[in-house]
Chains A and B, each alone.
Chain A
Amino acid sequence: MDFICNFPFFSILLSLFSGTICSILPGKAAKIVNRVVIITVGILSGILLVYLLDSGESFVYWMGHFPAPWGNEIRAGVLEAGMALFFCIIMYLSMAGGAHKLFDEVEESKHNLYYILINLLLSSLLALVYTNDMFTAYVFVEINTISACGLIMIRQVGRTIEAAVRYMIMSLLGSGLLLFGLCIMYDLTGHLLMSNIKESVSLLIQNGEYQIPLIVSIALMCVGLCIKSALFPFHAWLPDAYGYSTVSSAAILSSLVSKGYIFLLIKIIYRVIGFDIFNSTRIIDVLFVFGLMGMIFGSLSAIKEGDIRRMIAFSSVAQIGYIYMGFGMGTQAGMVASVFHILSHAATKSLLFIAAIGLTEVSGGSRKFIDLTGAGYRNKWAGVAFTAGSLSMVGVPLFSGFISKLLFAQAAVQVEGKMLAALIVLGISTVLNAIYFMKTVIRIYTAAGDTPYPCITFKDMKVHAVVLILFVILNVLLGVSSQPIVNMIEQGLAMFA
């Protein structure tokens, strides 16, 4: 076993411990530690990814070399490593982009707490990505929930507390259901390790035993994760949580946390239940329908919204709908499209959140559309970036959104029964996306007449601008050279099986 195989474990541990260390450091130092950790983890994941691409097969890592059921297993394949790398990139950019805002939003004394939570979040995300053990997954789901709650609540305004409570309740409901499902599954199979469960499940299916409990268990796990990743109609917690937390938190929550759960769901589908068995249940139809509904209702809510942050948040509901629609197709192509959309949406949504903050800054901190009039002229970089993000969301070629739309549509065509529904909803949803995003873009480029707000130049916001540019580049990169990434996703999914 190569030394590199330790990297997943290192990354999780590193971020976990750095979290602890941060608690005794002052804010500034915590920030540096946090950045260093994210970069390090990113580099580690990068190396791992290269290694895995090279070797072409995944590996299982036994913590402390204890075999199951006593030990804890970690598994790394191309998809895991890639996802980890991607999460790190997004997280770093989000942190950097929102850093200057942190002073306004969070009390000085709580800065290190903030970084603790971020580090914990990172570690839990990594664990969700890498773990090969259902129970570990559950544990880190909880850690994830707690740190996310903290991130929402750390900006101590009345609304955020309400949002955090709401998030907490919904999330806990989700984890509860997940736990239920897990218990039933454990009861049926007697295993907690993914690969072992899968064997038993296929045996059960073959023998035709315990069909109903099995389905119930799968359904419970799915519903649990759906709630946590805000699939329509379980999205009630989302707009407040994303809309009122600090900007970095919003970016991270929307682009990473919910994606962590979705990734876990993919893992469960492939590694616990088995892709074919999962597809043979009616659950995918349910996911498909709710995905479609999410695409439409999320967008409709976004259109009605008068607050830019909440609008972007509602747009997430729609985008998550896309991802579940991909699951619901029940084909490899649909899955690839969904995974690609995870990436593309993460890159775009965090860009939008970070750009939105740039726009609200030059509008007296107001997030109402009416005040944003002409913000694109006052903060040119944020304006351009927001436009780019919007175009990507609408699915204009050259941006990542186009590719995911392309993949979704191509996948849809191959599924006879669901083709028309998927295609038409895809079309309608694009129209709706265009409506609210383009409305905003036009708004920020409408001349405002005399505004009391100052203009911001590049000098005033170097970091912010650079981050935005990087985000845009990332987006375009995903949009232009998508082929290698799609190949990688296919390879990774193949390794899952």
Chain B
Amino acid sequence: MIICVILIPLLAGILVPLLPFRKRCHKEIFLEGAVILNSILVWYLLLHHSESTFLLAHFTGDLNISFRVDGMSMVFAGLVSGLWPLATLYAFEYMTKEDHENTFFLFYTITYGVTLGIAFAANLLTMYFFYELLTLVTVPLVMHTLTREAILASRKYLYYSLGGAAFAFIGLIMIIVYGTTTDFILGGVLDPLKIGDRTNVLLLIYVMAFMGFGVKAAVCPFNSWLPQAGVAPTPVTALLHAVAVVKSGAFAIIRLTYYSFGTDFLQGTWAQTTVMIVVMFTIVYGCSRALKETHIKRRLAYSTISNLSYILFGAVIMTPLGLTGAITHLAFHAVMKISSFFCAGAIMHQTDKRYVHELNGMGYKMPWVFGIFTISSLALMGVPGLAGFISKWNLAGAAVDSKNPLAYAGIACLLISALLTAIYMLSIVVRAFFPGRDFDDGPIQNVHDPNWKMLLPLMVFTVFIILFGVHSQPIVDFFYDVATGVY
């Protein structure tokens, strides 16, 4: 069953260029069908999950590729499988303006399977395997337009990701050597007897592995690939570079911290301090770069950088509450950011405008898109009543609760970042809705909202942003259960 949900997208993807579709809509139906079917399977799996591990293959020794559904996988898989069908729907409409969409959908759909692979991985090796695979299958997506810019971006993406994985690999080795098992067990698997007096070395390796996985989560100074990768078509930037790929990085770090090294081992050490400082710096850095950026998608990408570090900030607090905050932001940020990215994509699709200063007065021409963009902006800022507030609340709450002075400073970083977020997001909104006195809307007379395929996903996301904002209790409770190992 688990292997099914990984393979179905793989097969569906490979079939796209092979099957002779007579009309475009047939292909759309086929793909959307496959993706929805897969999502249904995933949800079925999550709701009826069993504790057992599915062993696919043996590598050397006791290293194996195996899958299991636990709390974290439920969160991540549930998130991904919820977003993918909507993003695919959006992609159909968006890709009408791009070339060779077969290749695009091939890799786009495969990525779904690979991401689920990461989510369901039962041990560090399996996760590492799918993690590398994820890099490889997403490179063609970044390269998609094949312009010089895209090539450079994909090159950079590859170098960074593979390089990061190389250092994460060292962490993997440490767990193999000093752990009792490579399986994910909440609380960590390190064997104190084997460690002996090598604590400091292990901490160093943890920091290295953190930074390694952190490359995908765009931790400073390894974040410059993400804004560049924005040259990819918007469905990719939105789903992969705001959710699947970058969240895999964060997910991997959570796995590494909570399920492999274990918080008992790391808490209060210099390693924790180091990574926390890095993360805090990234939070502020990402926002300030976003402020300077005038390309909409790149601005959002920098915003993603900062928000990813929110997640990591929660993770490195290293308490169950911190993990809850991290998971909450992982899920909520996904919805918020994909929504704002899709808005940016809709703008690009409808008007070919991609710089902030070109958006003057657009708000009245595309009220739905900009209305939704405004809501997601407010949510990202953390206005109460929207999803972002809840996740920040949980993060800050965890930081306060941890009694760690550095985490207090982290709260300050969160708030500075919130302010900067307000500036860079709202300046777009202000431009769109308040273009100024002598604004002439002649050149954009014919601009209008996109069709339902683009709007439907946006609306669904907005509904969720508001829903999570006003009634988050059940889902946050669930996240807390995950963080404390109930699932």
Instruction: Provide the residues of chain B in CB contact with A424, threshold 8 Å.
Output: 170, 208
Query: Is there an interface contact between A409 and B60, defined as CB atoms closer than 8 Å?
Result: no
Instruction: Provide the residues of chain B in CB contact with A32, threshold 8 Å.
Output: none
Q: Is B173 an interface residue (CB 8 A)?
A: yes
Mask of B254-277 contacts with A, CB within 8 angstroms, 1/0: 000000000000000000000000
Contact of A391 among B63, B136, B163, B178 (CB under 8 A): B136
Query: Is there an interface contact between A442 and B155, defined as CB atoms closer than 8 Å?
Result: yes
Query: Is there an interface contact between B167 and A445, defined as CB atoms closer than 8 Å?
Result: no
**Given contacts A427-B167, A445-B143, A480-B57, is CB(A413)–CB(B177) below 8 Å?**
yes
Contact of A426 among B58, B151, B158, B166 (CB under 8 A): B166
Instruction: Provide the residues of chain A in CB contact with B204, threshold 8 Å.
Output: 420
Query: Is there an interface contact between A396 and B132, defined as CB atoms closer than 8 Å?
Result: yes
Q: Is B30 an interface residue (CB 8 A)?
A: no
Query: Is there an interface contact between A430 and B60, defined as CB atoms closer than 8 Å?
Result: no
Query: Is there an interface contact between B58 and A438, defined as CB atoms closer than 8 Å?
Result: no
Instruction: Provide the residues of chain B in CB contact with A410, threshold 8 Å.
Output: 173, 176-177
Instruction: Provide the residues of chain A in CB contact with B128, threshold 8 Å.
Output: 397
Instruction: Provide the residues of chain B in CB contact with A428, threshold 8 Å.
Output: 166
Instruction: Provide the residues of chain B in CB contact with A413, threshold 8 Å.
Output: 173-174, 177-178
Stretch at the interface among A131-139, A216-224, A398-406, A452-460: A398-406
User: What's the nearest-Cβ distance from chain B to residue A201, in Å?
Assistant: 33
Chain A residue with the shortest CB-CB distance to B126: A397
Instruction: Provide the residues of chain B in CB contact with A391, threshold 8 Å.
Output: 136
Q: Is B59 an interface residue (CB 8 A)?
A: yes
Query: Is there an interface contact between B162 and A438, defined as CB atoms closer than 8 Å?
Result: yes
Q: Is B129 an interface residue (CB 8 A)?
A: yes
Instruction: Provide the residues of chain B in CB contact with A414, threshold 8 Å.
Output: 177
Query: Is there an interface contact between B151 and A442, defined as CB atoms closer than 8 Å?
Result: yes
A321 CA / B208 CA spacing, docked (Å): 23
A407 CA / B163 CA spacing, docked (Å): 18
Chain A residue with the shortest CB-CB distance to B145: A447
Chain B residue with the shortest CB-CB distance to A435: B159
A420 CA / B202 CA spacing, docked (Å): 10
Instruction: Provide the residues of chain A in CB contact with B208, threshold 8 Å.
Output: 424, 427
Q: Is A486 an interface residue (CB 8 A)?
A: yes
Q: Is B154 an interface residue (CB 8 A)?
A: yes
**Given contacts A447-B146, A482-B60, A483-B61, is CB(A434)–CB(B166) below 8 Å?**
yes
Q: Which of B147-175 contact A (CB under 8 A)?
A: 151, 154-155, 158-159, 162-163, 165-167, 169-170, 173-174
Instruction: Provide the residues of chain A in CB contact with B176, threshold 8 Å.
Output: 410
**Given contacts A396-B136, A397-B129, A434-B159, is CB(A442)–CB(B154) below 8 Å?**
yes
Q: Is B40 an interface residue (CB 8 A)?
A: no
Contact of B201 among A407, A420, A426, A442 (CB under 8 A): A420
Mask of A423-454 contacts with B, CB within 8 angstroms, 1/0: 11011101100110011001001110000000
A132 CA / B304 CA spacing, docked (Å): 63
Query: Is there an interface contact between B155 and A439, defined as CB atoms closer than 8 Å?
Result: yes
User: What's the nearest-Cβ distance from chain A to residue B156, in Å?
Assistant: 10
Residues of A within 8 A of B (CB): 391, 394-398, 403, 405-407, 409-410, 412-414, 419-420, 423-424, 426-428, 430-431, 434-435, 438-439, 442, 445-447, 480, 482-483, 486
